């Protein structure tokens, strides 16, 4: 995934930067370690912001899909109820016609 590559790239860059900073530091160890720590914190904050953005995007997509699913279920239930009502109406009409025909046959044979 693209996000995985970004995360790995940022972490790799932090590690390489820290190593190169220690190797080529023109200043004392304390100052160099402080700079490395400050920069690492900056990178960590940046990475956290990117992860928060990514999680926000994923959450929005999940909520959208969930909402669409609920709408589809509601539409399906509505169509089912309509079909059920129509079927009950047709059944009622069929029974009524059957009894009418039965009575007609019964009355014509008398």
pLDDT tens figures, 44-94: 888 888 889 999 999 999 999 999 999 999 999 999 999 999 999 999 999
- In this prediction, residue 85 carries a pLDDT of 96
103 domain residue, yes or no? no
In terms of residue numbers, what domain contains 53? Answer: 2-77
86 domain residue, yes or no? no
Stretch 14-27: mean pLDDT: 73
- In this prediction, residue 14 carries a pLDDT of 78
- The pTM of the full predicted model, rounded to 2 decimals, is 0.49
100 domain residue, yes or no? no
88 domain residue, yes or no? no
Give the chain's domain count. Answer: 1
**Residues 14, 15, 21, 24, Cα dihedral to 10°:** -140
95 domain residue, yes or no? no
Packing angle of the helix pair 29-109, 2-23 (nearest 10 deg): 170
102 domain residue, yes or no? no
92 domain residue, yes or no? no
């Amino acid at each position: 995934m693209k996000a995985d590559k970004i995360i790995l790239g940022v972490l790799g860059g932090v590690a390489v930067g820290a190593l190169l900073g220690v190797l080529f530091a023109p200043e004392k160890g304390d100052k160099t370690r402080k700079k490395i720590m400050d920069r690492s914190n900056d990178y960590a904050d940046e990475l956290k912001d990117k992860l928060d953005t990514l999680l926000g995007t994923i959450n929005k997509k999940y909520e959208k899909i969930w909402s669409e699913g609920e709408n589809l279920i509601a539409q399906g239930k509505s169509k089912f109820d309509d079909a059920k009502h129509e079927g009950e109406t047709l059944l009622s009409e069929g029974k009524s016609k059957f009894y009418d025909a039965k009575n007609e046959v019964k009355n014509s044979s008398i």
